[in-house]
Amino acid sequence: MAKGSLKGSIVLALLLLASSGLAHARHGRDSFSEEFHHTYTLDARGRVSLENVNGDVRVATWDRDEIKIDAVKFARSQDRLADIEIKVDARPEAIHIKTRYPEHLFHDDAGGVDYTLTVPRHACLDHVELVNGGLEIEQLAGDVKASLVNGSVAARELGGRVEISTVNGRLEVTVGSPELAGPVELSSVNGAIVLDLPADINAKLRASTVTGGISNDFEVAVHHNWVVGHNLEGELGRGGAEIRLSDVNGHISIRHSRQVTN
């Protein structure tokens, strides 16, 4: 075998091994899965709510008055897989999605559901509650309200009011417009908060921590509290809607986003 071919085979084998390891780490012993694919009518500014205990959620957008739900149920056995239900209450103005688990399933880490939702660009995430799982949101112009217990958030190019909290997880949020549609509120207990803002944004800014520090690219003074923690308060540009950030055991970073808006 040629030396280059041997090297390529070794690299391929390592990549396959790494991929297998990541898949195993994602679901642990859960080796049974079932897909769920449905599309429902949803108004351009319709409301979306979701409740899930185990599993990640990704929200993407499109220019259709519909919501597409692509989900994967996973469990340790076929019987347990069948016990996990995806319940959908769909109306044109609002849709509620809930994962229903039999009570006994939580005694031995029985499984969960990963969701990908594709929603109208101006839809509102009215109520998203996750226990064990992360949340990813891409280019949503509507409002966002979400709470997590064990999971991180990556939300990019948001355009509406924002209220996101997590207990154990990192929050990374990017605001897309220099004119906020409403307040932005981010809070974490054990995890960093990273907020990217247009350099020409107009807003009032407040941030506070208990044990973590605060850094920012907007030259707003950071004050060390007399006992513990730090706080920051200032006006960006002409002022406007309020941005409130709070963290207990994590660092807060407020950064210029890469692109300045016109």
| Whether residue 71 sits in one domain with residue 10 | no
- Span 218-252, pLDDT tens digits: 999 999 987 888 999 999 999 999 999 999 999 99
pTM of the model: 0.85
Structural domain that includes position 58: 34-256
> 155 or 105, which is more confident?
155
Helix (H/G/I), strand (E/B), else coil: 166: strand
CA distance 117 to 115: 6
Query: pLDDT for 45-77, tens place per residue?
Result: 999 999 999 999 999 999 999 999 999 999 999
Structure tokens at 13: 């084998």
Answer whether 108's CB lies under 8 Å from 60's CB: no
Measured between alpha carbons, how far is 231 from 224 in angstroms, rounded to an integer? 7
d(CA 154, CA 160): 16
Q: Please, are residues 141 and 159 in contact by the beta-carbon 8 Å criterion?
A: yes
Beta-carbon neighbour count of residue 86 at 10 Å? Answer: 17
Q: What is the mean pLDDT of residues 158-187?
A: 97
Residue 262 lies in a domain: no
| Whether 195 contacts 186, CB under 8 Å | yes
Please check the confidence at residue 28 and state whether its pLDDT lies above 70. Answer: no
Domain membership flag for residue 112: yes
Is residue 17 located within the same domain as residue 81?
Answer: no
207: CB partners within 8 A, 6+ apart = 214, 216, 230, 231, 232, 233, 244, 245, 246, 252, 254
> What is the tally of structural domains in the chain?
2
Question: What pLDDT does residue 103 have?
Answer: 76
Give CA torsion, residues 115, 120, 121, 122, to 10 deg.
-110
Average pLDDT in the chain: 88
Q: Are residues 193 and 234 in the same domain?
A: yes
What is the distance between the terminal CA atoms of the chain, rounded to a whole angstrom? 58
Evaluate whether residue 136 is within a structural domain. yes
Q: 23 with 86, same domain?
A: no
Contact of 133 with 57, CB cutoff 8 Å? yes
Distance CA 182, CA 200 (A): 17
Please name the helix (run of DSSP H) or strand (run of DSSP E) that holds residue 180, with its range, or none: none
For residues 20 and 149, state if they share a domain. Answer: no
Domain assignment of residue 261, yes or no: no
CA proximity to 64, closest of 117, 116, 118, 120 = 120
- According to DSSP, residue 160 is labeled S
